[in-house]
C-alpha cells in the first residue's frame, strides 16, 4: 500500500497504551496505510509539574517508531471541556453520577477525532476498544467483544451509523491476555503497561480532591427514609445511589447491624437519604 492510496488509509487513535498499540500493529501487518493520531484532551499538570499526557505520548512515539508509522497529535482539550467535562460537572451538581466515557466517545473520539482524521486523508479510523462491528448492506451493528471481562460496547452505545461505518476495532476478536502477548512478541514498549483507569482522559487522581476543584462542596445532613438525622455528609455530589462504603454511619439507636445504603439524594435540601435495604423502593 502506498501513502497516496487513501482508500486504504486508516488513522489509529493511539493512547500510549497496549490496546491501541496492538490495534495499530495488526492493521500495519494487514497492509493498510496506517498513521497514528494522539489526542491531548486535558492540559492540567500533576504535582510534579508534568502534563498528564506526557508519559503516554512518549510511549506512543516509541510504538510508532517500532511500527514505522507516522505519529500525529491533535489538541482537543477545548472540545473535551465544552462537550464532555461541562456536562460531567452539571450532572454531578444535579445529584447524578455521570459516565463521561459515553459522551467522550460520541463527541470526542468518534466525532472531533474522526473529523481531524478525515482532514488528514483517512477513510476510516481505528481504536483499541474491546468491541466488534458487523457491517451489513444497509446498516452497521455494534457487537460485544469476545472478551466479556473487557467488553466496552456499552461505552460505545451512542455512536451513530455514520460513526460506526467509519470505524474499525482491530482487537475486538481478541482476549486481553492475547493482546498483551502480541504486544510482547512485537517488542512493543507498552506490552506490560498498566491499564488506564479513572475519569476519561484525566486519569487516576483522588476523586474528591479533583471534583472539589470545580464544585464547592457543602456539608449537609444524612437522614433515614423516615426523616431521622443520623449523620452528616461532606458534599452530596461525592455520593452515588446504592453506595455503601464511606458513609461514616455507625451506632444508630434502634438500628440493626445491616449496612446502610444511599437511596436518594435531595438536592434542594442538600440531604442524603439512606436505608438499610439495598432494594429499597426509593
Bridge partners, 94 (sequence order): none
First CA to last CA distance, the chain: 60
Catalytic residues: 104, 200
- CB burial of 199-216 (b: ≥16 within 10 Å; e: otherwise) equals bbbbbeeeeeeebeeeee
Rounded Cα gap, residues 222 and 225, in angstroms = 10
Amino acid at each position: 500500500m502506498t501513502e497516496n492510496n487513501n482508500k486504504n488509509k486508516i488513522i489509529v487513535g493511539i493512547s500510549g497504551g497496549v490496546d491501541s498499540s496492538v490495534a495499530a500493529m495488526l492493521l500495519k501487518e494487514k497492509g493498510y496505510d496506517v498513521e497514528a493520531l494522539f489526542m491531548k484532551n486535558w492540559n492540567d499538570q500533576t504535582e510534579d509539574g508534568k502534563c498528564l499526557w506526557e508519559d503516554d505520548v512518549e510511549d506512543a512515539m516509541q510504538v510508532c517508531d517500532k511500527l514505522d508509522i507516522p505519529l500525529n497529535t491533535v489538541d482537543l482539550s477545548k472540545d473535551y471541556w465544552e462537550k464532555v467535562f461541562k456536562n460531567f460537572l452539571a450532572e454531578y451538581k444535579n445529584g447524578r453520577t455521570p459516565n463521561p466515557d459515553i459522551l467522550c466517545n460520541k463527541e470526542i473520539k468518534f466525532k472531533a477525532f474522526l473529523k481531524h482524521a478525515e482532514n488528514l486523508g483517512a477513510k476510516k479510523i481505528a481504536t483499541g476498544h474491546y468491541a466488534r462491528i458487523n457491517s451489513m448492506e444497509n446498516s452497521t451493528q455494534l457487537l460485544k467483544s469476545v472478551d466479556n471481562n473487557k467488553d466496552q460496547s456499552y461505552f460505545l452505545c451512542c455512536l451513530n451509523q455514520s460513526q460506526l461505518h467509519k470505524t474499525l476495532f482491530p482487537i475486538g476478536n481478541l482476549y486481553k491476555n492475547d493482546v498483551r502477548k502480541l504486544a510482547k512478541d512485537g517488542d512493543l514498549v507498552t506490552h506490560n503497561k498498566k491499564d488506564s483507569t479513572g475519569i476519561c482522559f484525566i486519569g487516576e487522581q483522588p476523586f474528591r480532591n479533583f471534583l472539589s476543584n470545580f464544585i464547592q462542596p457543602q456539608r449537609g445532613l444524612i437522614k433515614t427514609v423516615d426523616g431521622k438525622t443520623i449523620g452528616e455528609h461532606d458534599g452530596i455530589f461525592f455520593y452515588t445511589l446504592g453506595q455503601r462504603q464511606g458513609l461514616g454511619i455507625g451506632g444508630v439507636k434502634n438500628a440493626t447491624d445491616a449496612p446502610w445504603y444511599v437511596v436518594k439524594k435531595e438536592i434542594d435540601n442538600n440531604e442524603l437519604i439512606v436505608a438499610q435495604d439495598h432494594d429499597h423502593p426509593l
